[in-house]
Amino acid sequence: MRLTLKVWREGGKYVGQFVDYKVDNISTDMSFLEMLDVLNEQLIQEKETPIAFEHDCREGICGTCSMVINGQPHGPMKSTTTCQLHMRSFNDGDVIYIEPFRAKAFPVIRDLVVNRDSFDRIIQAGGYVSVNTGQAQDANAIPIEKDTSSQAFDAATCIGCGACVAACPNASAMLFTSAKVSHLATMPQGKVEARKRAQSMVKQMDAEGFGKCSNVTACEAECPKGISVTNIAKLNREYMGSVFGSDKVM
C-alpha cells in the first residue's frame, strides 16, 4: 500500500502544524503503529526527527497508544486500540490525518504524545479500596453474584486511554471516572467508601478542567473497551446519593 499521512508535529522545529509524509510498501498485515515505525525509520535515514508517539504493550491493554486517526480516537475500527488496528482497515492511496488527543487537561508534550497525569490524579483521589495489610482473605469469604461481578468487571476493563475525552465534544472525562466509580461501587469491598469516592473523584475531575457531560455518547462509540454510558448514569446516582443521602457535610 502507498499512503499519504498528514501528521501533527509539535515541539522542536515545529510550532504545531500538519506535515505531509508519504509511505510506500505498507503491508495490510501491519498494525498502525508498525506503519508509523516504518515511517520513523525512513525519517531517521533522512536525518529528520522521528514522530513521537506513545506505545507500550502493543496488545490493547495498556492504553498508551493515543492518537486521533481520521477524526476518530484509535481510528475507524470499533472497540480497538491503535496498536490493534491493522492497515487492512485502510485502502491503497488513502490520505490519513493523525492528530494528538485534544483537551485542555491533556496538554501536548510532543507531536502525538499528550500528558495524561490528570487521569492519574483522578484515580489517586479515590479510585481504590482501602484494605488492611495482613493475611490474604479467603477468596470466597464475600459471596458475590456472577451478574454483579461481571458488571463490575465490564467497568473495570477501562484501560485509562483517554479516548473518551478525545471523542467528546466537551472533553468530558465522565466515562473514565464513571467506569472506576461504578466498578468499585458495584462490589461489596468498594461499597464501603463509595460515597467518599464519588465525591473526591468528581471533585478532582472538575478541578482538572474536563468538560461537563452532555450525554452525546461519543465516548462509548469510540471507547476501545466498549465501556457503556450506563456507568455515567450510575456515577450520577452515586454522586447524588453522596450529596443527598449522606449525613456527612461534603
Partner 1 sequence: MRWLTNFLFSSIGQKVVMSLTGLFLISFLVAHLSGNLQLLIDDGGQQFNQYAKFMTSNPLIKFISFGLYAGILLHAMQGLYIWINNKAARGGKGYAKKVTRAVGTNATAASNMAWWGILILIFLIIHMGDFWFAMKFGGSLEMLTYEGYDEPVKDLFTKVEATFNNPIFVIFYVLAMLGLAAHLLHGFQSAFQSLGLNHPKYTPLIKGIGTFIAVVIPLLFAIIPIFMYFGIYPLSSFLH
Site for ligand SF4 in 59-98 (CB under 6 A): 63
Q: Which helix (H) or strand (E) is 206 found in, with range?
A: helix 194-207
Please tell me the total number of residues recorded for the chain in this structure. 250
- Candidates 35, 67, 164, 201; binder of ligand SF4 (CB under 6 A) is 164
Number of H helices, E strands in the chain: 9, 7
Site for ligand HEM in 178-217 (CB under 6 A): 212, 214-215
Stretch that binds ligand SF4, among 14-22, 25-33, 143-151, 162-170 (CB under 6 A): 162-170
Looking at 6, 55, 196, 203, which residue binds ligand FES (CB under 6 A)? 55
Identity of the residue numbered 64: T
Taking CB under 8 A as the criterion, which residues in 14-33 touch partner 1? Answer: 18
Q: Assess 233 for contact with ligand HEM (CB under 6 A).
A: no
Q: Is residue 196 a contact point for ligand FES (CB under 6 A)? A: no
Classify burial at 95, counting beta carbons within 10 Å of its beta carbon; exposed 0-12, middle 13-18, buried 19 or more: exposed
Q: Which is nearer to ligand HEM, 1 or 221 (CB)?
A: 221
Q: Which is nearer to ligand HEM, 51 or 168 (CB)?
A: 168
Q: Is 240 in the site for ligand HEM (CB under 6 A)?
A: no
Cα-Cα end-to-end distance for the chain: 58
Nearer to partner 1, 113 or 235 (CB): 235
What angle is formed at CA 239 by the lines to CA 234 and CA 245, rounded to 5 degrees?
A: 110
The radius of gyration of the chain's CA atoms, rounded to the nearest angstrom, is: 20
- Residue 57 site contact among ligand HEM, partner 1, ligand SF4, none (CB < 5 to 8 Å, cut-off depends on kind): none
Question: For 231-240, b where at least 16 C-beta lie within 10 A, e where not — what string?
Answer: bbebbbebbe
User: Residues in the site for ligand HEM, rule: CB under 6 A?
Assistant: 212, 214-215
